Structures are given as C-alpha cells and as structure tokens.
Amino acid sequence: MAKAKASSKKQEEEPIINEPEIVTTTSAMDQTAEDSIESAVRKKLISLYTLQLIDAQVDKIRNIRGELPLEVQDLEDEIEGLETRIAKFNQELSDLQMEITRKQNSIKESQELVKKYEAQQMNVRNNREYDSLSKEIEYQKLEVQLAEKKISEFEASIQSKKEILEVSSNELVERKNDLEIKNSELKDIIEETQKEEDLLKAKSEVQKKNIDERLLTAYKRIRENARNGLSVVPVERDACGGCFNKIPPQRQLDIRLNKKIIVCEYCGRVLVDPDIVEEISI
C-alpha cells in the first residue's frame, strides 16, 4: 500500500512539474516570433533609409547644376519658337510677293484691254457701241487702280514683315549664342559630377531590389510629393526630421521597437530611429 500511495503521489506531481516547461516553451516561441518581426521591419527600414541617403546624394549633385538644365531647355524652346516664327514670316513674304506678281500681271492684262477697246472705238458704227466700249475702258482702268492699290498695301506689309523678320533673326542669333554658352557650362558641370552620379544611381538600383514593390511605390510617391525629396527621415530632438513636428513619446517608443513601419501623422514620411541612422553609411 505504501508503494501504491507513493506511485499515486508521483503521478499527481508529474503535471505540476511539466507545466512550467510548457509555459516556458510557449514564451520562447512568442519571443522568437517577435524578434523575427522586429528584425524584418528593421531590415526594411535600413534598406529604405539607405535608399533615401543615396537618392539625396543624387539630388545634391543635380542641385549643383542649379537652374542650368532648365535654362538650356527654355532657350531651346525659345529658339524653336523663333525658328517657327521666322519660317512663317518667310512664307508670308513669299505669298505676298506672289500676290504682287499676280496683280502686276492683272494690270498688264487690263492695260492691253484698254488699248484694244480704244482701237475698237475708232471703228464703231454708232453711239451705243462707243458708249459700251467706253464703259469697258473705264472698268479696266479702275481694275488697274485697284491692283496698284493692292500692290502698295502688299509692299507696305512686306516692309513691315521684313523689319520684324530682321529683329527675330537677330534675336535668334543671340539666343543660339546664349544656348552655346549655357550648354558649354552644363557640359563642364556634368563631366565633373556624372561619374559620381552614375555610381550612386547604380547603388540606388541595387538597393531598390531589397525593398518590396508596395513599399517602394509608397517611397516614390512620398518622395515626389515632398518638397525636399525626403521620404524617409530620422527622429531628431523628439520631432520628425522632415516637417519638424513634435512626435508623442508613445509613438517614439513604437519607432524604437521596430515592430512596424510608422509614418509621421503630419507629413506622411517614414520615420526611423536614430540608432538605425548611426548604423548606415554609403
């Protein structure tokens, strides 16, 4: 009976001994899962912030070029506009010259008809024929006067257009000279910075491969809408490094824990803990 009691007591104690082991194992699994999530989120944040640093360097290089690319583009557009305008004026001058030639031919035809009708008047048989020829002669002389008036108007228009054309042609020469100078300046700056920019662009493309498409799309969207091109920023002095609005303490704690990606509630930028910033170098 003593042995039976001992055996029964042992069986009752076994679950009590094993229970802490089960609890400990479950707790360890939860901790492992939590660490895994934190590690994954941290890697995403590191990749995003690294990409941001690279893109910011590219922006800096482009800022060195200043407004030159835009100035070059504006000059090219202006030159194209001037060339179109000059071509239009040249076409109008050609059309006006053709109109003058046409009116001159019309004058010659009318003058020949006047001579013809005047010769016919010498051989008329009655007053009615004479009056009819007189009206034709008068009509042709009016046609000559009208054609001469049109020619004068065309010649005045040609003179006006030639003056405008000369101004436009001189302006075109000046703009082409300006474009040549600006292109030369831009070329020099690009040659100085192109190698570094190409290297950074290559790094940027490599880094993008480490970021899932959804997150990368969000990064690009935020970056395009941000005035300074910053999409991912650190917490600095308890504030967002992009818009400088204060971040509540609880939210700062969430950022430090790296359990999820957190954005600024004011500007929408992705926020990273300063510890991550210290880890990264490009």
Domain harbouring 257, CATH code: 1.10.287.1490
Q: What's the pLDDT tens digit per position in 142-170?
A: 999 999 999 999 999 999 999 999 999 99
Task: Provide the residue range defining the domain that includes 154.
Answer: 68-208
- Residue 1: pLDDT over 70: no
Query: Do 176 and 91 belong to one domain?
Result: yes
Query: Do 85 and 166 belong to one domain?
Result: yes
Query: Do 200 and 73 belong to one domain?
Result: yes
Query: What Å distances lie between residue 217 and 13, 46, 220, CA to CA?
Result: 59, 17, 5
Among 157, 189, 208, residue at a domain's last position = 208
**CA atoms of 47 and 204, how far apart (whole Å):** 10
DSSP-assigned states of every residue in 129-152:
HHHHHHHHHHHHHHHHHHHHHHHH
* 6 within a domain of the structure (yes/no): no
Query: Do 141 and 54 belong to one domain?
Result: no
* 15 within a domain of the structure (yes/no): no
Quickly state the pLDDT bin for 8 (edges 50, 70, 90). Answer: very low
* 221 within a domain of the structure (yes/no): yes
Query: Do 198 and 227 belong to one domain?
Result: no
Name the least confident of 18-22, 84-88, 106-110, 111-115. Answer: 18-22
**CA atoms of 27 and 37, how far apart (whole Å):** 15
**CA atoms of 262 and 94, how far apart (whole Å):** 69
Considering only residues 78 and 189, tell me which one the structure prediction assigns the higher pLDDT.
78
Query: Do 162 and 193 belong to one domain?
Result: yes
**CA atoms of 229 and 236, how far apart (whole Å):** 18
What SS3 class is residue 12? helix
Query: Do 74 and 166 belong to one domain?
Result: yes
pLDDT of amino acid 282:
64
Q: What's the pLDDT tens digit per position in 208-241?
A: 988 889 999 999 999 988 888 999 999 999 999 9
Q: What's the pLDDT tens digit per position in 15-29?
A: 333 333 334 444 545
Q: Kindly report the CA angle at 63 between 246 and 275, in degrees rounded to 5? A: 35
Residue 276's closest CA among 217, 239, 232? 232
| Under 8 Å between Cβ of 114 and 140 | yes
Residue 164's closest CA among 88, 67, 63? 88
Query: Do 94 and 46 belong to one domain?
Result: no
Q: Name the domain count of the chain.
A: 2
CA atoms within 13 A on the CB side of 69: 8
| Under 8 Å between Cβ of 140 and 113 | yes
| Under 8 Å between Cβ of 64 and 189 | yes
Among 208, 236, 260, residue at a domain's last position = 208
* 246 within a domain of the structure (yes/no): yes
pLDDT of amino acid 279:
80
Query: Do 97 and 172 belong to one domain?
Result: yes
**Whole-model pTM above 0.85?**
no
What are residue 233's DSSP bridge partners? 271
Instruction: Say how many residues make up the chain.
Output: 282
Query: Do 200 and 238 belong to one domain?
Result: no
Q: What percent of the chain has pLDDT over 90?
A: 60
Query: Do 261 and 181 belong to one domain?
Result: no
**CA atoms of 103 and 97, how far apart (whole Å):** 10
Among 177, 208, 239, residue at a domain's last position = 208
Query: Do 76 and 111 belong to one domain?
Result: yes
Strands (DSSP E) found in the chain: 232-236, 239-240, 262-263, 270-272
